[in-house]
Chains A and B, each alone.
Chain A
Amino acid sequence: NAGVTQTPKFQVLKTGQSMTLQCAQDMNHEYMSWYRQDPGMGLRLIHYSVGAGITDQGEVPNGYNVSRSTTEDFPLRLLSAAPSQTSVYFCASMTSGGIYEQYFGPGTRLTVT
């Protein structure tokens, strides 16, 4: 099992550009999430999904879009990048059925200039 994979590992964008952060998992988990991690702020939930075709907003959703067409993939789209979106982004998947154990990808470090 590869677990949770994310691409790219690093990305530099100019203000106003758009891009998609890729996330995939091979554990057949229904639940997937996107977090951002900033110094002093901890991990904050951006968007999450409870299954293919179902997504919802987390704590800090503004400026981001998600979709879930398959169980495996959960891409995060930045619509018009802003310097405030400079952060480390983590994708996670979680077991269901009452256990709720979360598994994280290696992260994408994004810089917006």
Chain B
Amino acid sequence: KQEVTQIPAALSVPEGENLVLNCSFTDSAIYNLQWFRQDPGKGLTSLLLIQSSQREQTSGRLNASLDKSSGRSTLYIAASQPGDSATYLCAVHSGGGADGLTFGKGTHLIIQP
């Protein structure tokens, strides 16, 4: 059974810092990995999707990497801003359908102004 772990569970950094959020998974046979952002009381917003054949994806100040063989992904946030404060969730798609997604429990990020 796929297990997804996100470290750290919480992180507080001053504005402007570059930071890395980590996601690890136990079964390397995956279709893709998706990073989400969740603001308090809101739904999940997709940030980046990395297919199993890709090594990284970039969107603005965000860069996600995938090392399938070691079961790891990182989300790099450059020049952090207070508006980046949210919970970041990693989800791994292992199966071939709607039941194949396994979520980590998230990293709660606070960017101090």
Contact = CB atoms under 8 A, between A and B. Distances in A.
Contact of A100 (B36, B93, B105, B106): B93
Interface string A85-101: 00000101010001111
A96 B57 CA distance: 20
Contacts of A106: 42-43
Contact of B103 (A43, A105, A109): A43
A42 B98 contact: no
Main secondary structure of the interface of A (DSSP, over half): strand
B101 interface: yes
Contacts, number: 58
B32 A107 contact: no
B43 A40 contact: no
B52 to A, nearest CB: 10
B91 A48 contact: no
B76 interface: no
Interface of A: 4, 31-33, 40-43, 45, 48-50, 56, 58, 90, 92, 94, 98-107, 109
